Amino acid sequence: MIFNMVSEATEEQINHIVSRIKECGYEAHLIRGKERTVIGVVGNSGRHRSELEALSSAPGVEEIVKISHPFKLAARSVRPEGTVLDLGKGVTIGGKDIAVAAGPCAVESPAQIADIAAKVAKAGARLLRGGAFKPRTSPYSFQGLGEEGLKLLRDAADKNGLLVVSEVMDPSQIEIMLPYVDVMQVGARNMQNYHLLRGLGEIDKPVLLKRGMSATIEELLLSAEYIMAGGNYKVILCERGIRTFDTYLRNTLDIAAIPVIKTLSHLPVVADPSHGTGRRDKVAPMARAAVAAGADGLIIEVHPDPERALSDGVQSLYPDQFAQLMQEVRAIAPAVGRRVP
């Protein structure tokens, strides 16, 4: 359940409700919005539930809302107006602006990342994406440059006014990545790595959570719940394609998941048409469709020379293709009440 506090609720009233929730054997999660404060109640003890419900008449409480979904903190009822996250450098996600992250699948060299950072920034991207630690299907494939790759990412991003989004694969990497990365990405393979999710729940940094390749929408939201239950409410969900019976594309990008998630959850949603299709010629059409369906952002793989890319070259756009896509997205966004800064 959640406690919706009145807009003029005092700190004393809020703290009283938090204390009573804890006394009843539950966890209290304080979520402050622009207009009001919401207190989420989490726990399975079942003890003193009647005492909790009796708090509906306590000073400062507007109403108590019972949540039927297994995900509590990620539910739309917690914040009906939706969550808008400030990522830094004037970049927000979840509001009117559509945030675009672009860059190579992996950081390969100083020249490569410097070149692509300048080009995607010029085209309008606000975040630089790139892998320093790469989860690969084959153990013999390129695994990334590690911390050196993070340093290159940070330097290239700073020189072009961009934020950095990069994938974290293991809890041991969190501390290493914190100085370099603005948004921590959890890849599809790690969506249900609960040890990692708990670790990310303890930091004060946005997390981009990708949907697992065979995961349901509810499983995605429950993975977000792990992060939020730890105290980090800065979660961005990502639809990146799921495995189906069809083999023409690498994955099936579930465009319908975007409006479905928007109905179920208040968290921002982005689309990854690069992994969602696995084919360069299908990235732009699916990116356009995702924006029309209500996506709050896009994450696109772009490489200066895809034919020589060490990973995912077949789905990476050339810089000029990315620039063209940005023009198309700018044309589509106003039709759905959005804009691309």
Task: List where CATH 3.20.20.70 sits in the chain.
Answer: 85-336
Please name which of 106, 97, 33, 112 lies closest in space to residue 291, comparing C-alpha atoms: 97
3-state SS, residue 32: strand
Task: List where CATH 3.30.70.1140 sits in the chain.
Answer: 2-66
Q: Where is 260: in which H helix or E strand?
A: helix 257-264
pLDDT reported for residue 188 = 96
Q: What is the rounded CA–CA span in Å between residue 313 and residue 157? A: 21
The domain at 85-336 falls in which architecture? Alpha-Beta Barrel (3.20)
Q: What value does the CA radius of gyration of the chain take, rounded to a whole number of Å?
A: 21
Instruction: Give tens-digit pLDDT for 241-300.
Output: 999 999 999 999 999 999 999 999 999 999 999 999 999 999 999 999 999 999 999 999
Q: What is the rounded CA–CA span in Å between residue 259 and residue 307? A: 35
pLDDT band at residue 139 using 50, 70 and 90 as cut-offs: confident
Q: Per-residue pLDDT for 140 more than 70?
A: no
Sheet holding 27-32, edge to edge: 27-32, 37-42, 2-5, 61-65
β-partners of residue 91 are 88
pLDDT reported for residue 45 = 61
Pick the CATH number of 2-66 from 3.30.720.200, 3.30.1300.10, 3.30.70.1140, 3.40.47.10: 3.30.70.1140
- Work out the average pLDDT over 1-20: 93
Instruction: Give tens-digit pLDDT for 80-110.
Output: 999 999 999 999 999 999 999 999 999 999 9
pLDDT reported for residue 145 = 87
Q: Where is 244: in which H helix or E strand?
A: none
Instruction: Give tens-digit pLDDT for 11-53.
Output: 999 999 999 999 888 889 998 877 789 998 988 666 677 888 8
